[in-house]
Amino acid sequence: MGLELLNISQLQSSRNLTKDLVISLRKQILEGNLQPGTKLPPAKEIEQKAGVSRSVVREAIAALKAEGLISSRQGVGMFVADSANQKPFSIDEKEFASVEDAVHIVELRMSVELEMAALAAKNRTEEQMQAIWQALDAFSSEVKAGGDAIEQDLAFHLAIADASGNPYFGRFIRYIGQGAIPRRTLISEHDNVTREQYLAIIHEEHSAIARAIEEKEPQLAREATRAHLANSRNKHLTVARMLREGKA
């Protein structure tokens, strides 16, 4: 396949070129512009067309493979998956615009991530534990730099998923994507906390989960995860009540 069928243009500079490229390619696949079985051009050609680095293309392709939209054939290349016309399960950031949807998504995460954390505490390797702490450090650094640490928050939960030993947990978290992380302003605009205070609470809750996993205490990891997600759920329920009562 040549680039004439790959309808992408030079991506504008942003903080997440990988995400932008994933969105562009995903849209073409799901809208039928790239039919199942279509061979993608070489990574070098995609780089040139989109104006991004090889690592951005590689990460975008990996994300689309995780979603089941792209498959690889050894020695042949990358193809749009035969099942690509079936839209994968995903939740995007827009669905957090509704506080009620945010509560439902947190409840979905609770049903999955408690056992995910417990398995991580049971199965994690030293290398995987290091990845969890590195994700937590990256979260802290991003907050200190003035960011909302959405990507770093997701990376932390993905590191735990990888440590669980069950690849389907990672696939689940990746399917949900950054939509799994509530917008910080949703809480800070309606709760009596600043953005910095809210992120500090999240960091401490993450730290409790990481410590339990490091100590290989599955029940403690489960309880720390429950506390983390329950706090998020309760904050969203409080905001929802305030909105209904006209107090926000």
Contact 80, 32 (CB under 8 A): no
Q: CA-CA distance, 182 to 96, in Å (whole number)? A: 6
What is the number of structural domains in the chain?
2
Range of the domain at 207: 93-244
Contact 168, 218 (CB under 8 A): no
Contacts by 100-105 with C-beta closer than 8 Å and gap 24+? 100/240, 102/182, 102/186, 102/236, 103/233, 103/236, 103/237, 103/240, 105/176, 105/179, 105/180
pLDDT for the residue 4: 44
34: in domain: yes
Q: CA-CA distance, 43 to 54, in Å (whole number)? A: 7
71 and 97 share one domain: no
Q: Helix or strand or coil: residue 78?
A: strand
76 and 97 share one domain: no
Give whole-number Cα distances, 233 to 68, 93, 143, 187, in Å.
30, 16, 22, 11
Query: Given 13, 45, 80, which residue is the final one in a domain?
Result: 80
pLDDT for the residue 110: 92
59 and 111 share one domain: no
125 and 75 share one domain: no
Give the predicted TM-score (pTM) of the model: 0.62
pLDDT for the residue 73: 84
pLDDT tens track, the chain, 248 positions: 444 445 555 555 545 788 888 888 888 887 778 888 889 888 888 888 888 888 888 888 888 888 888 888 888 888 988 876 665 555 555 555 566 777 888 888 999 999 999 999 999 999 999 999 999 999 999 999 998 888 899 999 999 999 999 999 988 888 776 666 666 665 656 566 788 888 999 999 999 999 999 999 999 999 999 999 999 888 878 777 776 776 55
194: in domain: yes
87: in domain: no
pLDDT for the residue 3: 41
- Residue 154 sits in a domain of what CATH number? 1.20.120.530
Q: How many helices (H) and strands (E) does the chain have?
A: 10, 2
207: in domain: yes
Q: Helix or strand or coil: residue 73?
A: strand
Single-letter amino acid, residue 38? T
pLDDT for the residue 142: 93
86: in domain: no
Q: CA-CA distance, 95 to 182, in Å (whole number)? A: 10
85: in domain: no
Ramachandran class of 91: left when φ > 0, alpha when ψ lies in -120 to 50, beta otherwise: beta
Give whole-number Cα distances, 149 to 66, 95, 196, in Å.
23, 19, 11
146: in domain: yes
Q: CA-CA distance, 36 to 27, in Å (whole number)? A: 13
171: in domain: yes
How far does Cα 64 stand from its chain's mean position? Answer: 13
Query: Given 45, 80, 115, which residue is the final one in a domain?
Result: 80
Q: What is the dihedral of CA 138, 232, 158, 130, to 10 degrees?
A: 50
182 and 111 share one domain: yes
Q: CA-CA distance, 103 to 185, in Å (whole number)? A: 15
Q: CA-CA distance, 94 to 205, in Å (whole number)? A: 25
